Amino acid sequence: MIPYLLLFINIFLSVAGQYFLKYGVSSISIPFNLLNLPRIVFSPFVFLGFFLYGLSSILWIYILKNIPLSVAYPTLSLGYIIVLFVSYKYLGESINTQNILGVGLIIVGVRLLFIK
C-alpha cells in the first residue's frame, strides 16, 4: 500500500517540479544562453522546480524497488492529466478536444493496469 501511495506522491512532485520550472523560466526576462544559465538555474522558481523534480527522482528509486516497472511507469502518465489542468488553471494555457481525448485514453489505460 505504501509504495503505491508514494507512486502518487511521486507524480505530484514531478508535476509540481515541471510547473515551477515553466513558471520560473517564463518569468525571467534574460535570454537563454550558456552565459545566463547559472542565473536561470538558480532563480528561485527554477531552482524549486529542479529540487522537486529531484525529489521525485529519488523517490522513484524506492518505487522501482517495490512496484513492477510495467505498472509503475505507465502510471506516471497520470501526471500528464494533472499537468494539463495545472497548466490551464495556473499558466493560462488552453485545453482542446485532442487534450480531452488524450486524457480519456490515459485514464482507460491506467485503469486497465489495475484490473485484477
Task: Specify the pLDDT at position 60.
Answer: 97
What is the C-alpha end-to-end distance of the chain, expressed in Å?
Answer: 16
Task: Specify the pLDDT at position 116.
Answer: 72
Alpha helix (H) ranges present in the chain? 2-26, 37-41, 44-66, 69-75, 78-91, 97-113
pLDDT in tens, the chain (116 residues): 899 999 999 999 999 999 999 999 999 999 989 999 999 999 999 999 999 999 999 999 999 999 999 999 999 999 999 999 999 999 999 999 999 999 999 999 988 988 87
Task: Specify the pLDDT at position 1.
Answer: 82
Task: Specify the pLDDT at position 114.
Answer: 82
At 68, list the grid cell.
513492477
pTM for this predicted structure: 0.88
Task: Specify the pLDDT at position 58.
Answer: 96
Other beta carbons within 10 angstroms of residue 16's beta carbon come to 19
Ranges of each domain in the chain: 2-113
Q: What is the DSSP letter of 78?
A: H
Task: Specify the pLDDT at position 113.
Answer: 83
